[in-house]
Amino acid sequence: MNNFDLFAKNSLLFAPMEGVTDEAYRIALMKTFPEWDLFFTDFLRVPTTGKVNERLILDHYGKRIFENKNWRDKNSFQILTTHRAQTEAVVDIINDLNFKHLDLNLGCPSKKVNSHFGGAYLLSDLPALREILRKIRSRFKNHFTVKMRIGYRDDKMFVDTLKLIEDEGIEAITLHARTRDQLYQGVANWAYIKEAVSTVKIPVIGNGDIWNAYDIEDVFDQTKCHSIMFGRSALKTPWLAKIYKEYVKEGESIDETYQLYQRKAHLELYFEALLKEYRQENRADEVIHKRFKSFSLHLFDDYHNGEFIRGQFLRSTSLDQFMDLLYHLKG
């Protein structure tokens, strides 16, 4: 095991998510559910043309977070790049700003991104991947990790890719256990996380369809991975890290009610904190309302009439009405 000290073993990481994890969102979550160990920006697409400067990086990361040492320690920066993009220039700025952690996106399945040779495409072109890893590794002095899928079309190069990444001095690998072609279909296969753990000596962070505290225990038991990252599951239960750390780790037995415990109170905390942060950024109510509706797409499945409840939130016509529905929600 290397001396990786960016986060402790068994950490619970809030995944980078485009359209979700902007600065206001991350601040709201850090304040409300500090049990999450680490947050990420969504990917900054490294520009191929045009000027890159400090402002581009800080706007993406969030200035308020950058100016707060405690928050900075809990927020990592993710980039998505290609062999043609201005990787060196961007990494030099990130390095000069003394970011503690940089993560490279090797998982994005978007057709547009992949046709420009970025994201998961790089899993199908190992020479190009190696070149990019070297560029970044040779310039960035702090922790450098990647977030990948098990392959592009299939898993044939999975083991070779893992070894290449380890050989190039990358310090940890987050693995979303699906191929790029699988997009989000089927269920992520955690056996690949176990295979990664036995293939490389660097920490592996398991990711994909880890929905609740039972799953967290299963993934740690079955794969022996270092830590776990949560995407859609964190949007479904933004207090999942709290459930796991407070109730499960305290030795409370988990039964089917744990996931429901205080869910209304937690939902209120979640939306109130988001509202406060978005308002601080002077976002218009209509913009906030639109955002809230998009978050509600991930919520309410735990209610027996979840579809109906979600429908009510989605049909709401104003932010006030949305919040009113929230306060009148039962249990």
Ligand X SMILES: Cc1cc2nc3c(=O)[nH]c(=O)nc-3n(C[C@H](O)[C@H](O)[C@H](O)COP(=O)(O)O)c2cc1C
CB of 107 to ligand X, least distance (A): 5
Closest CA to 57 of 38, 41, 39: 41
227: contact with ligand X by CB under 6 A: no
Are 181 and 163 in contact, with CB atoms under 8 Å apart?
Answer: no
Closest CA to 252 of 217, 209, 227: 217
Are 301 and 236 in contact, with CB atoms under 8 Å apart?
Answer: yes
CB of 231 to ligand X, least distance (A): 3
Phi, psi values for residue 207, rounded to 5°: -150, 145
Given 14, 25, 36, 43, the residue binding ligand X (CB under 6 A): 43
CA distances to 119, 143, 178, 188, 264 from 78, rounded to whole Å, are 11, 12, 20, 22, 32
88: contact with ligand X by CB under 6 A: no
CB of 19 to ligand X, least distance (A): 6
- CB under 6 A: which stretch of 12-20, 26-34, 252-260, 316-324 binds ligand X? 12-20
Q: Which is nearer to ligand X, 258 or 295 (CB)?
A: 295
Active-site residue, from 80, 104, 108, 309: 108
- Known active-site residue 108: yes
Closest CA to 53 of 24, 86, 81, 26: 86
# residues contacting ligand X (CB under 6 A): 21
Sheet architecture: strand order including 39-45: 12-14, 227-230, 204-207, 172-179, 143-151, 101-106, 75-80, 39-45
Retrieve residue 117's tokens.
Answer: 């040779």
107: contact with ligand X by CB under 6 A: yes
176: contact with ligand X by CB under 6 A: yes
- CB under 6 A: which stretch of 16-24, 65-73, 87-95, 252-260 binds ligand X? 16-24
Retrieve residue 7's tokens.
Answer: 């986060």
CB of 270 to ligand X, least distance (A): 17
Amino acid at 178: R
Given 10, 11, 17, 130, the residue binding ligand X (CB under 6 A): 17
Map the footprint of ligand X across residues 266-295, applying CB under 6 A: none
Contacting positions for ligand X (CB under 6 A): 15-20, 42-43, 78, 105, 107, 147, 176, 207-210, 230-233
Q: Which residues are catalytic?
A: 108
